[in-house]
Amino acid sequence: MAETATTRRSRLTPEREAELYEAVLDLLREVGYDSLTMDAVATRTRSSKATLYRQWGGKAELVARSVRHHKPVGIAVVDTGTLRGDLHAMTTRQDDCEMEQNSSLMRALGTAVHSNPDLLAALREWLVEPELEEMRQVVQRAVDRGEVRADNRAIDYVLHMIIGAVVARTMIDNEPPTQAFLSSYIDAVVVPALVA
């Protein structure tokens, strides 16, 4: 039947794709990037390795897209009318539990990229670049409104300020990153550096 042939050639359903990404993240948390194998992903998700390689090319891209899929909706879509409002809208996209899970994942991947250049490239393509692009839009709106000077040098460092603080939080303060921490940090550091 023509329909069956089409189905057979088609991409995975969104539900199946989501299920697969969740399984990859579970495996990542269990064994870490270096010990994660495409065999284990295939077994856990009852897929063929051929399917995995055809759809994602390899482990690095599969992992990067799994993390991307898990991320909350971008902030650029939230236009509150002020820079501070837009940045704060970011902190409420994840609850504290999700924030800790994500930062733990990013710490582990942040270590793994140093011995896996293909992982670094995939994370930059699927996570960092989209995140930078969204941040550019948020800042551009603030520049257009006259809130931020176009030549403010902190513009290039918004992600460094924010990601860095979340990643360093536990070691410096012996507390997990939370919405309350991030809100306070945005008001104390990010907004003053940009609006200065």
Binding site for a copy of itself (CB under 8 A): 104, 107-108, 110-111, 113-114, 120, 123-124, 128, 132, 152-154, 156-157, 159-161, 163-172, 174, 184-185, 187-189, 192-193, 196
Residue 34 CA to chain centroid, in angstroms?
A: 19
Rounded to a whole number of angstroms, the minimum distance from the CB of residue 157 to a copy of itself is 5
Rounded to a whole number of angstroms, the minimum distance from the CB of residue 107 to a copy of itself is 5
Q: Which is nearer to a copy of itself, 144 or 187 (CB)?
A: 187
Handedness of CA 91, 95, 98, 104 (dihedral sign): positive
Structure tokens at 61: 């891209």
Q: Which is nearer to a copy of itself, 56 or 185 (CB)?
A: 185
Rounded to a whole number of angstroms, the minimum distance from the CB of residue 92 to a copy of itself is 20
Element holding 63 (H helix, E strand): helix 59-70
Residue 135 and residue 78 in contact, taking contact as beta carbons nearer than 8 Å: no
Q: Which is nearer to a copy of itself, 18 or 76 (CB)?
A: 76
Handedness of CA 57, 59, 64, 69 (dihedral sign): positive
Q: Which is nearer to a copy of itself, 76 or 167 (CB)?
A: 167
Rounded to a whole number of angstroms, the minimum distance from the CB of residue 194 to a copy of itself is 9
Gap between the Cα atoms of 51 and 72, Å rounded: 27
Structure tokens at 64: 């990067």
Rounded to a whole number of angstroms, the minimum distance from the CB of residue 129 to a copy of itself is 10
Q: Which is nearer to a copy of itself, 9 or 114 (CB)?
A: 114
Residue 62 and residue 56 in contact, taking contact as beta carbons nearer than 8 Å: yes
